[in-house]
Structure 1
Amino acid sequence: MARFWTEPQHKHGTPPRIGVLLANLGTPEAPSAAALRPYLKQFLSDPRVVEIPRVVWWPILNGIILNTRPAKSAAKYASIWMDEGSPLKVHTQRQSRLLAARLGDGLEVSWAMRYGAPSIPDQLNGMRAAGCDRILVVPMYPQFSASTTASVMDEVAHCLSRWRNLPELRFVRSFHDDPGYIAALARSVREHWATHGQPDRLVMSFHGTPRRTLDLGDPYHCECRKTARLVGEALELPAERLLVTFQSRFGKAEWLQPYTQPTLEALARDGVGRVDVMCPGFVADCLETLEEIAMECRAAFLGAGGKAFHYLPCLNEREDWIAALADLTRRQLGHWLDRPAPSDEALAASQRRATALGAAH
């Protein structure tokens, strides 16, 4: 088997470009069991996501999970599906377009999904064909986790391992304490409160990970806590009115605590009338925010005696968030932006030299 994929035909005189790739988690192509099965298989086959020896995990995944979970997940996706498709894909695509408009001409801005389509290799190959010799990868996960951000890095590295002519490459590791990101989160809360008043508790629910990942050195839990603390400080919210919880537990092992739904049910039983819930670990609304939080957790809180449950949407296409993302991107691009684009005359001269060199040989 050949090590390298077919390289695009090299064209002398092609102006170099900068590529910016936004990478999010992924989504099925349709809210159906048939579409969920390959998506879940790719997702749950990633050793970064499920850190169980393959010999143990493979029979469970293929013999049980992929035969039972696709239909259940499909019904959940169907409840939040948009006319344009999956919310995560729709919002990520919109964010990419808005970011491109803010960054201006000269940059190739694209987006990809770690699982599903468009894939990271497909989008990177598109950037290579467009002449990008410098690529910035922006995993759209504010808090770093091996199961998310590192998996994107793995996929990029795997793709580039088959390239001959490699680009300069940069990654955004995390932006959990980025001032623009924090300010956009805080402003979204203030705007909601200006219309609806303040709740008894503000709950910040983050995606959960197994407890052992914290013990093994994953910084995710600490970065989630810092994000929450910074947003709370920006809101000048007393510490006792702010709660950090973790959602989406899977399996029987202990995960990061406290768990979101049991916490909400306990608050209701203790007489807390209204909660506002936001998910700062997601910059785009998706199944976990729209179905798990806005539907399941709402029902659980009200069913336990709560009076009012408000879900605060993710940042999505907020102008202040896109501005913050553009600022973050420019900082990461750094001196790449200082390299002047070659003039038409310089490109023409380069092409003449390449033609002359070819004729001489």
Structure 2
Amino acid sequence: MEASVLQKPAATKQLGKTGVLLVNLGTPDSPSVPDVRKYLREFLMDGRVIDIPLIPRTLLVNGIIAPFRAPKSAKTYQEVWTENGSPLKYYGEVAERELQRVLGDEFVVKLAMRYQSPSIQSGLEIFQKQGLTKIIVIPFFPQYASATTGSIHDKVMEIVREWQIIPDLTFVSSFLDHPKFIEGFVRNAQKFIQQTDYDHFVFSYHGLPERQIRKGDVTKGQVCKLGSCCDSLNAMNQYCYRAQCFETTRRLVKQLGIPEGQYTTCFQSRLGKDPWIQPYTEDLVKELPKKGMKRVLAFSPAFVADCLETTIEVGEEYKELFEEHGGEQWDLVESLNDSPLWIELLADLVKSRV
């Protein structure tokens, strides 16, 4: 047999760099009413966010929600705005910079927002001009949902499909099971637990309309019942947002040693009259003090960066509601934000896909 047949082929050297697109939901360019209105219109006109036909969606968003909600939302954004601008964007910029440092020159890391700036389009154009061999897209959402991760994937494909040359493209769908994601929230929570003996622990996730969960059920109702079907994560419900949220809670309470009966998984940010996934955080907050649970530690594990939905909604509004109904202490565990562990997690996600 010829020697050439026995020789192991040399590994093919990658010719170009790998692009890493970090994508979060988005934020207004400023907390002014016009900028907030512009952001709301782009965000809510996404058919994966408000999943109703175009004409009624246009009338609802442009005729009712954006005009009337923008002034109120602008005041809320002013509360979270810092000297660095939007916290969500600032933490994203830190992640972009630090991940680039960790990964080195063989990678090009860019931050993008699904809505507003910097846009997904601008990030992908930078990659395209540099002739990258591979692009890895990492949405900043631990749990998959069509309205968040799915929308980002959809937008990337909408742009890239117009390219004459499409590079190797890889998407991260979720990372709730990554040990460093769990460890990050556990570390942040332990700082509170060491100081206070809490009566109850609340794990509040951003809500979704029930219809969106049902649309994602590949069994057409045979498995998804919006109830005990989320008691485990398996092949049939692995992309169900509600099931992933309950799985996230199970992993966190296991690491924290929280016993059954002392924690609740719930969902916040309801909008409109249609039923959203339950239980609702707002209802739970009112009931806890009546059951003698006066000291509560809250988590928002659907967010990796503190923003309006964590700092204001969970950290302040629910705190006020809790105290109004007899609660004494309501604390919020901060998100991963700019922690070194978060950067390590992102690096792991990239390296596992190269």
TM band (smaller chain): 0.7 to 0.9
Instruction: Check whether the contact 1:282–1:314 (CA below 8 A) recurs between aligned residues.
Output: yes
**Cα shift at 1:234:** 0.8
Contact 1:265 1:301 in 2 (8 A): yes
SS of equivalent to 1:147 = helix
Percent identity, please.
Answer: 38
Question: 2-side partners of 1:198 and 1:115: how far apart?
Answer: 41
Alpha-carbon deviation of 1:236? 1.4
Are 2:193 and 1:193 equivalent residues in the alignment?
Answer: yes
Instruction: Tell me which amino acid in the other structure corresponds to 1:200.
Output: D
Structure-1 residue corresponding to 2:114: 114
Query: 2:50 aligned with 1:50, yes or no?
Result: yes
Tell me how far apart the structure 1 counterparts of residues 51 and 202 of structure 2 sit (CA, whole Å): 29
Aligned-pair CA distance for 1:63:
1.4
Write the deviation string for residues 228-249 of structure 1: whole angstroms up to 9, x where unpaired: 1011111111021111110000
Deviations 1:267-295 (A, max 9, x none): 02322111111101100111100111111
Matches within 5 A, 1:330-341: 330-333=351-354
Structure 1 residue 67 and structure 2 residue 88: aligned?
Answer: no
Query: How far is 1:52 from its partner?
Result: 1.0
Query: 2:199 and 2:343 mapped to 1: Cα distance?
Result: 30
User: What residue is the counterpart of 2:141 in the other structure?
Assistant: 141
Cross-structure match for 1:351: none
The residue type paired with residue 275 of structure 1 is: V
Deviation by residue 1:104-131 (Cα, 9 ceiling, x = unmatched) = 2211011100001000011110122233
Q: TM-score, normalised by structure 1?
A: 0.86
User: Structure 1 CA distance, aligned partners of 2:96 and 2:160?
Assistant: 22
Q: TM-score by structure 2 length?
A: 0.87
Residue aligning to 2:309:
288
* CA-CA distance at 1:135 after TM superposition: 0.5
d(CA) in 2 for partners of 1:198 and 1:165? 58
The answer for the alignment partner of 2:165 in structure 1 is 165
Partner of 1:4: none
Amino acid at match of 2:137: V
Residue by residue over 1:63-108, the C-alpha shift from the partner in whole angstroms, topping out at 9 and shown as x without a partner, is: 1112111111100100111111111101111112122222222110
Q: Is the 8 A contact 1:298 1:309 kept in 2?
A: yes
Which whole-Å deviations, capped at 9, do the CAs of 1:305-325 have from their partners, x for residues lacking one? 100010111011112222122
> Which one of the candidate residues 283, 287, 290 is aligned to 1:266?
287
Letter of the structure 1 residue corresponding to residue 196 of structure 2:
G
In our comparison, the structure showing a higher alpha carbon Rg is 1
Q: Is the 8 A contact 1:133 1:166 kept in 2?
A: no
Query: Contact 1:246 / 1:259 at 8 angstroms: preserved in 2?
Result: yes
**Residue of structure 1 in register with 2:152 after alignment:** 152
2:24–2:140 contact (8 Å) kept in structure 1: yes
Q: Partner of 1:162: helix, strand, or coil?
A: coil
Aligned to 2:309, the other structure's residue is in SS state: helix
Residue 203 of structure 1 corresponds to 202
Task: Report SS of the residue matched to 2:146.
Answer: coil
The letter of the residue matching 1:89 is K
* Higher mean C-alpha deviation, range 212-221 or range 270-279: 212-221
Kept in 1: contact 2:185–2:333 (CA 8 A)? no
* Poorly superposed stretches of 4+, deviation over 6 Å: none
Cα offset, 1:15, TM superposition:
5.6
Aligned residue pair count: 319
**Contact preservation (8 Å) 1:15, 1:131:** no
Task: Tell me the distance in 1 between the aligned counterparts of 2:326 and 2:32.
Answer: 34
Counterparts of 1:173-188 in structure 2 under 5 Å? 173-188=173-188
**Mean Cα deviation higher: 269-278 or 107-116:** 269-278
Write the letter of the residue equivalent to 2:205: F
2 CA distance for matches of 1:295 and 1:276? 13
Aligned mate of 1:238, from 238, 255, 259: 259
Question: Contact between 1:17 and 1:107, CA under 8 Å: does it hold in 2?
Answer: yes
CA deviation after TM superposition for structure 1 residue 214, in Å: 2.2
Letter in 2 for 1:189: A
Q: Which residue of 2 aligns with 1:354?
A: none
Is residue 206–residue 269 contact of structure 2 (8 Å, CA) maintained in 1?
A: yes
Letter in 2 for 1:251: G
SS at match of 1:253: coil
2: CA distance, partners of 1:118 / 1:198: 43
Tell me if the contact between 1:172 and 1:332 (Cα under 8 Å) persists in the aligned partners. Answer: no
Q: Hey, what's the Cα distance between the residues in 1 that align with 2:268 and 2:133?
A: 40
C-alpha distance in structure 2 between counterparts of 1:130 and 1:82, whole Å: 34
Identify, as 1 or 2, the structure richer in helix.
1
What residue is the counterpart of 2:22 in the other structure?
22
The 5-angstrom pairing of residues 69-84 of structure 1 reads 69-84=69-84
C-alpha distance in 1 between matches for 2:114 and 2:34: 19
Q: CA–CA distance in 1 between the matches of 2:98 and 2:319?
A: 32
Distance 1:300 1:155 in 2: 38
Q: Distance in 2 between matches of 1:175 and 1:329?
A: 12
Secondary structure of the 1:165 match is coil
Q: Secondary structure at the match of 1:326?
A: helix
Distance 1:317 1:62 in 2: 35
